[in-house]
Amino acid sequence: MGHAAPLLRLARSGAVALAALMLPVEAGAQALVNAGEIALNVRNGSVKAVDVVEAALDRTREIAGLNAFITLDAVGAGKAAAAIDAAAGAAGPLAGVPFVVKDNIASAGLPTTAGTPALRNYVPAVDAPVLAALRKAGAVLIGKTNMHELAFGITSNNAEFGAVGNAVDPARFAGGSSGGTAAAIAAGVVPFGLGTDTGGSVRIPAALNGIVGFRPTTGRYSGEMIVPISTTRDTAGPMARTVGEVVLIDAILAGEGGEVPLDLSAVRLGLAHPQADNLSAGVKISLDDAIARLKAAGATIVDVDMSKTLADGGAAGFPIALFEARRDLGAYLAANTDLALEDLAAKIASPDVSNIFAGGVLGVGVSEAEYEEALAVRETMIADYAALFQSNALDAIIFPTTPLEAQPIEGSDKTVMLNGEAVPTFPTFIRNTDAGSVIGAPGLSLPMAPTAEGLPTGLEIDGLPGADAALLSLGLAVESVLGD
């Protein structure tokens, strides 16, 4: 069974009218998912950017129950679209394409709340560079998306702005912390958006909503004017329905591009353990199907042991994040607001985030010595990861993005059930993605076949730091195998 069918059924009602504007009728709902086609049709005058943007805004009203947005900017989006239409053929590579960004990415003239009460009235004077680059390319921002408070979680169950519903099953969580961006894309509002990823916050919601999510090598994109957790670990990341669109966005944000699909018969992939172990029954079936498809396409797949790297990631990851959150978030607030870190922490609404701040970011926190030790462990991780690739002659490693599918919003904040055992929600869902974030490696989550219940699952492909172009080329090839 192909992965796209339930998502396209969900999106079809909001996409058909837009499809008729841009492409032949037989293209159907696929028209909405292709940012390149939208831009092409806007540039050649066969469709108006104002009509594309209006259709996206109409769709936000149809999916309002998902609670994907914190702020919509219908007026600003309409003005931007009109300006694109006036520019006609001179418009950029994303001319008239509506998009969204996570609400921790600064936007000039619009609130940037980071999903937390203390920043409700924080309105930056400038765009974050990643947002500015997309606007310069002609894309039209329609709104800021809901998220796990301050990006410190993986459900997007936000106590201040409400929980984000999964686009396939709104009673289940969207994943986080970039849940609103993922839900908006998967529900057919926009073809792409930006999230941020510190431990899996782009890839996890992408997997749980059945879209593509890309965490680039840390530092590939500017992190300026993004409400931070950790400069060592944070990055913005594009999310879309297809790898091709991620390639397009990456080229704009990184200033390079032109990736083409690799020949899978020449590719050697490491199936990472324990990431590929102790999976839900549904994710296990999807993973087995993906492996069979890759092997049938000629890829060589070998088992590799990542247990030491994962253990080191567990030891180093949180000390780095907690120490740098105190330093980096405090510095951001001092530079851009009149708030101290303690002021922000006092108003945190979500109990899980409040506890992290009370016990780890503030309070006893992480000492300088513990932080330096964690950085040393990180260097060992980087060396071990490179050695794994070299000794096994790998092009990439693969594993399921999450060990289980999206879980019900109600009752899942603390624990979820995995193979008959109650396990803690946060460490379970970041189990597979976190180590790559610690070492700054690029990771790409692609949809696998859904579970028998129709719930999305994700396959992650991770490469060596700096090898983003090669990873995206591989992703294009893998997508062609895993898709319908």
Which is the catalytic residue, given 107, 177, 230, 473? 177
The residue whose two tokens read 């965490």 is 215
Confirm whether 177 is a catalytic residue.
yes
* Under 8 Å between Cβ of 176 and 156: yes
- 3 state DSSP class of 100: strand
Element (H, E) at 207: helix 203-209
- Tokens coding 140: 């039209």
Which is the catalytic residue, given 102, 156, 280, 350? 102
> H-type helices in 255-306, by residue range?
281-296
Q: Going by C-beta distance under 8 Å and a sequence separation of 6 or more, which residues neighbour residue 337?
A: 119, 122
Element (H, E) at 235: strand 235-240
Confirm whether 347 is a catalytic residue.
no
- 3 state DSSP class of 434: helix
Q: How many residues does the chain have?
A: 484
Closest by alpha carbon to 79, among 45, 109, 106?
Answer: 109
Distance CA 58, CA 214 (A): 27
Burial class (CB in 10 A: 0-12, 13-18, 19+), 387: exposed
What phi-psi label fits residue 96: left (phi over 0), alpha (psi between -120 and 50 degrees) or beta? left
Strand ranges in 177-234 using DSSP code E only, listed in sequence order: 192-197, 212-215
Query: Residue 412: what are its φ and ψ, rounded to 5°?
Result: -110, 10
Which is the catalytic residue, given 201, 280, 412, 473? 201
Burial class (CB in 10 A: 0-12, 13-18, 19+), 4: buried
Output helix, strand, coil percentages for the chain, rounded to the nearest 5.
Answer: 45, 15, 40
Confirm whether 201 is a catalytic residue.
yes
Q: Going by C-beta distance under 8 Å and a sequence separation of 6 or more, which residues neighbour residue 375?
A: 232, 316, 320
Distance CA 245, CA 54 (A): 21
Neighbours of 35 (CB within 10 A): 27
Strand 300-305: give its sheet, edge to edge: 69-72, 140-145, 98-102, 192-197, 235-240, 212-215, 443-447, 458-462, 396-400, 268-273, 300-305
304: which strand partners?
272
Distance CA 144, CA 72 (A): 6
* Under 8 Å between Cβ of 451 and 285: yes
Instruction: Give the C-alpha distances (Å, rounded to integers) separating 313 from 230, 268, 440, 442.
Output: 15, 24, 11, 15
The residue whose two tokens read 């319908």 is 484
Q: Catalytic positions, please? A: 102, 177, 201
